[in-house]
Amino acid sequence: MSSLKRLRPSKNIGPFSPRLIGLRILTYLGAGYIIKFMAEDNEFLTDVDFGQYRTLIYNESGIHFTSTNRSILESRLKERLREKGLDSPRSYYLLISKNSEELKDFLDSVTTNLTHFFRNDAHFKALENFVIPELLKIKQGTPNPTLKVWSAGCSTGEEPYSIAMLMSEILPPPGRFEIVASDISLKSLMEGRKGFYGDARIEGIPEGYLRKYCTRLEGGYQFKPEIMGKIRFDYHNLKHDSGQRNVDLVLCRNVIIYFDEVAQLEVIKRFWEVMAPKSFLFIGHSESLFGMDTKFEFVKTQWATFYRKYI
């Protein structure tokens, strides 16, 4: 055989030969399998695990984890595993399935607790100029003139302390009011209960209020007993009835944004049950009851919008 003949591509080994195409497909499938295998091996939370955790969190708290915030769940889970010395999401899932205290800690770890004093200034202006004067008119001459407020999802307490300062400032003496501040984050509640806020966190409190309602300590400010005595911090999951009744003002701001529509409606209906006739409901600036089957009426004032239970 001449050398020329040896170099001429044979019908069976050219770039489009069935043998080469077959080989390429095999290589491609093999590589794909190896990549998939490696990815699964490195995947911290499998789709099945994610589905299970998502259902558990939703059933226990109403908080809805979407695929977009899966990474948040993953990082919080990693922290819990490290703390507990466990090596897989599955083993931690087994633990929280049978240990209700650990389940509480886990739920605490997946909540978002961002808050600050006098958050959404417009709400506080509406409270001062419209809501509180209205409530005072209603309460006048009634056997129980105490204004009952519920800060639902109060996080570390900035919201209830802001209301307590405002009410102390504007209610005529003897200024009867009480605030229940509740959350599912025990860590946040404990911070709120202490009533001490570091220098970096007191932003938003007017200077005059700071001087009047707080004591300067090293590194921050401590609320005075007359303000702290107005607030009762309570562990409460909005998935359940709080047992309260005749509440005049409910603030549940920036909480239901983490729930899906079904859970939101359940919570709003529960508020209706605890609220007194003609009472007020404030939800977060970016939250709405629009399109929801509720009996609350929308109130628009020059300061802010909120909801009212007229009957």
Ligand X SMILES: C[S@@+](CC[C@H](N)C(=O)[O-])C[C@H]1O[C@@H](n2cnc3c(N)ncnc32)[C@H](O)[C@@H]1O
Contact mark string toward ligand X, 238..267, x via CB under 6 A:
xx-------------xxx--x---------
CB of 160 to ligand X, least distance (A): 9
**Residue 184 contacts ligand X per CB under 6 A:** yes
What DSSP state is assigned to residue 9?
P
Report the residue from 162, 185, 242, 244 that binds ligand X according to the rule CB under 6 A: 185
**Residue 89 contacts ligand X per CB under 6 A:** no
Report the residue from 188, 242, 264, 279 that binds ligand X according to the rule CB under 6 A: 188
* Residue 254 Rama label (left phi>0; alpha psi -120 to 50; beta): left
**Residue 288 contacts ligand X per CB under 6 A:** no
Closest Cα to residue 155, out of 121, 216, 201, 200?
Answer: 201
Interface with ligand X: number of residues (CB under 6 A): 24
| Token representation of residue 218 | 């090293």
User: How far apart are the C-alpha atoms of 69 and 240, rounded to whole Å?
Assistant: 25
CB of 155 to ligand X, least distance (A): 4
**Residue 183 contacts ligand X per CB under 6 A:** yes
Q: How far is CA 180 from CA 67, 171, 298, 305, in A?
A: 34, 18, 24, 23
Beta bridge partners of 299: 306
User: Looking at 50-58, 114-122, 209-217, 273-281, which segment touches ligand X (CB under 6 A)?
Assistant: 114-122
CB of 115 to ligand X, least distance (A): 3
**Residue 162 contacts ligand X per CB under 6 A:** no
**Residue 61 contacts ligand X per CB under 6 A:** yes
Which of 29-38 are b and which e, b meaning 16 or more Cβ less than 10 Å from the residue's Cβ? eeeeeeeeee
Report the residue from 52, 69, 222, 237 that binds ligand X according to the rule CB under 6 A: 237
| Angle at CA of residue 248, ends 104 and 231, nearest 5° | 50
Helix or strand holding residue 168 (H, E):
helix 158-170
Q: What is the dihedral of CA 33, 34, 39, 45, to 10 degrees?
A: 70
CB of 310 to ligand X, least distance (A): 24
Contacting residues toward ligand X, per CB under 6 A = 61-63, 111-115, 119, 153-155, 159, 183-185, 188, 237-239, 253-255, 258
